[in-house]
Structure 1
Amino acid sequence: MALKQTTGVVIKVFDHGESDKIVVLYGPQKGKLAGIAKGAKKSKKRFSNKLELFSRLEILFDERPRGGLVQITEAELLDSYINLREDYDRYIGATLICELMNYWTKENDPDKHVYDLLTWALQELNRSDLSKTILIFFQVKLFTLLGYKLHLDSCILCGTTGQSGVPYGFLPSRNGLICTGCRPSIDPRDMISLSLGTIRLLQNAQELPLEKLNRLRFSKSSIKEALLLFRAYGQYLLQREITVWNFILGKQQAASFSPDR
């Protein structure tokens, strides 16, 4: 059977046995693709410094008739995004992006818009110091593409629209805002507090194309609010904890919301 060729970003990689590696990529042609690279740990030519987390590769692979792991026979490095491995904030940001990609995507279910978002986010993280802002932009766009767009226009209980200076809450279980008047009816531990400024920034991020997102400027408080929102919303939808959030938010902040209540 002839070898096949595809392009993808390594979103997960781990050792298998004494000499092999399991590699999971996400690409525009195949979506998520899991493969085994035989002898990769000992290779000094075919795979040396290529099968690394975050790397964008072009691979040759053999697809097995019964499915399962493909066999990766060759890999060419297209982008290494080296800064993602040399800076702590960039590294944990890129790690979160890849974990989200692994949890939210399926094998043989390609989406070029999702792939373009992934490569955009890694490129921006690689060149920019604004790692947390890029994480916000990535999740705004990812949830929209996946069909879980944030509902930020009005209170989901009474329909009140945003009022200047009035804090809102975001309820992950309902994907919507709770206004000040309705907040007493909701357990505060189930909500994420949002200022109107943060809401407006997130609304703008939903509408702007990727190349114009850098026009938006988040304050420290808005960054904190937005990241807490996405951590809580994603955890509610997945019903699982993504550990790297503890390093991005700090363990005390990351523990402030429980989706199981």
Structure 2
Amino acid sequence: MLYRVEGIVIRSMDYGESNKIVTLLTNSSGKAGVLVKGAKKVKSRFGSLAQPFTYGEFVFFRGPNGGLGSLNAGEIYESYHTLRENLDQAAYASYVAELTDRALQEDEAGGFLFEQLKACLNGYVLGKDPQIVTHLYEMRILEAAGYAPGLDACVNCGNPEGPFRISAHMGGALCIRCSAGDPGAIRLSDPAYKLLRLFRRMDLRRLGSIEVKPETKAELKLAMRKLMDEQLGLKLKSQSFLDQLDKLT
């Protein structure tokens, strides 16, 4: 069967002497693995389509039983080459790409998430705060995987009155009384908690200019890391590299 999809390359790996296998996040077919023959050759007409983060149209054939597709044609809409050339941007883009690939099964990756990933990459290119953009996308990943945190009321007793603490183990907010049952629950400042609730609801395509104080960003990073580690439990190479970059800044 012939597929014609919009897709973003979230993983690219060598296959044999001259080929590459790419994993796409598509707008209509979830995740898809596609063989790009001759992609490593200097004069390959498909070489650019196999580059990480490339957004474009991909036409590929895949058998009736699914599995790996084979690229027939394609067109680049946005190469996102600056994301491969700038170290900081490359680190964040690599993280969200690996996160998407590792966190989601094919049927969990719908068209909305495709649009969110595209908005995330656009945000990096436009110079928006990469940490904030990334946290927003992490929320979309948690949502797509079925682990979105409950933040409007206590996830244990339903009490809507704060203040709350964030429990990664319980998957959301705990009121003061219930938080006694989770020593690992963290207390956030009011600005950090309000932003976390905003992240839970916000479409990345609507993100404008935003400035967040360093101390608030530190709180958000701690909360999101705990939620991601507890709910998804992934060890990502790109995350380790991001952490190393943070230590240098």
Q: Equivalents in 2 of 1:106, 1:207: separation in Å?
A: 23
**How far apart are residue 219 of structure 1 and its match?**
1.7
Change (3 A) 1:37 1:132: same
Q: C-alpha distance in 1, partners of 2:137/2:180?
A: 32
Cα distance in 2 between the residues matched to 1:251 and 1:192:
25
Q: Verify the 8 A CA contact 1:169 1:177 in the aligned structure 2.
A: yes
Q: Structure 2: 5+ residue runs without aligned partners?
A: none
Give the letter aligned to residue 26 of structure 1: L
- Tell me by how many angstroms 1:84 deviates: 0.9
Q: Distance in 2 between matches of 1:238 and 1:212?
A: 26
Measured after TM superposition, the shift of residue 108 of structure 1 is 5.7
- Structure 2 counterpart of 1:218, which letter? V
Secondary structure of 1:214's match?
Answer: coil
Tell me the equivalent position of 1:67: 66
Task: Give the corresponding residue for 1:175.
Answer: 171
1:199 equivalent among 180, 184, 193: 193
230-239 or 113-122: bigger deviation: 230-239
Query: Cα deviation per residue 1:95-129 (whole Å; 9 max; x = unaligned)?
Result: 11111211233336651111111111111111114
8 Å CA contact retained: 1:26, 1:33: yes
Shift of residue 37, structure 1, vs aligned partner: 1.3
Identity across matched positions, percent:
26
Contact 1:192 1:225 in 2 (8 A): no
CA–CA separation in structure 1 for the residues paired with 2:122 and 2:206? 15
Q: Tell me the residue number matched to 1:224.
A: 218
Q: What amino acid does structure 1 have at the position aligned with 2:242?
A: I
TM-score (norm 1): 0.82
Number of residues of Structure 1 aligned to a counterpart in Structure 2: 246
Q: Which residue of 2 aligns with 1:104?
A: 103
- Two-structure CA RMSD over aligned residues (Å): 2.7
Partner of 1:8: 7
What amino acid is aligned across from residue 33 of structure 1 in structure 2? A
CA distance in 1, matches of 2:8, 2:216: 30
What residue number does 1:256 align with?
Answer: none
Which amino acid in structure 2 is aligned with residue 137 of structure 1? Answer: L
**3-state SS, counterpart of residue 80 of structure 2:** coil
Aligned pair partner of 2:183 in 182, 187, 192: 187
Specify the alignment match of 1:162 in structure 2: 162
Task: Give how far 1:244 is off.
Answer: 2.1
Letter in 1 for 2:89: R
